[in-house]
């Protein structure tokens, strides 16, 4: 599956040269990891964000968000944000920040 390179580039722009951030092909797309923990990724033209179990309900209340259900089993703590909800840079930045914040709360891998 191809991924939206434009969206990936926007994420790279947001992350800048943040230490500890790496990229890895996962889930048929591209993932951005912070200290080895997945923070956000791009699958097709959508954004996946690891928000953590405690933040899932609040994240799902935001426009364009749904549970990440890649394998037929929804993953609590992960959401998918549809492309139409990511047109504004500020919205994308907030999602990226949320994913990085949660990933940074985990022990490095």
Instruction: Provide the residue-wise pLDDT of the chain in tens; the chain has 109 residues.
Output: 689 999 999 999 999 888 899 999 987 899 999 999 999 999 999 999 999 999 999 999 999 999 999 778 888 899 999 999 999 999 999 999 999 999 999 999 8
Q: Which helix (H) or strand (E) holds 40?
A: strand 37-43
Query: What is the number of H-type helices and E-type strands within the chain?
Result: 3, 6
Q: Which CATH architecture has domain 5-104?
A: Alpha-Beta Complex (3.90)
pLDDT at 1: 60
Q: Is the pTM of this model over 0.85?
A: yes
């Amino acid at each position: 599956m191809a991924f939206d390179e434009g969206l990936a580039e926007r994420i790279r722009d947001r992350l800048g040269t943040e230490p500890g951030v790496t990229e890895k092909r996962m889930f048929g797309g591209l993932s951005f990891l912070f200290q080895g923990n997945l923070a956000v990724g791009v699958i097709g033209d959508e954004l996946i964000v690891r928000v953590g179990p405690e933040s899932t309900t609040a994240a799902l209340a935001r426009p364009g968000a749904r549970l990440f259900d890649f394998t037929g089993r929804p993953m609590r703590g992960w959401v998918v944000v549809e492309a139409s909800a990511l047109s504004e840079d500020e919205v994308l930045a907030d999602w990226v920040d949320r994913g990085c914040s949660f990933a940074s709360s985990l022990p490095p891998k």
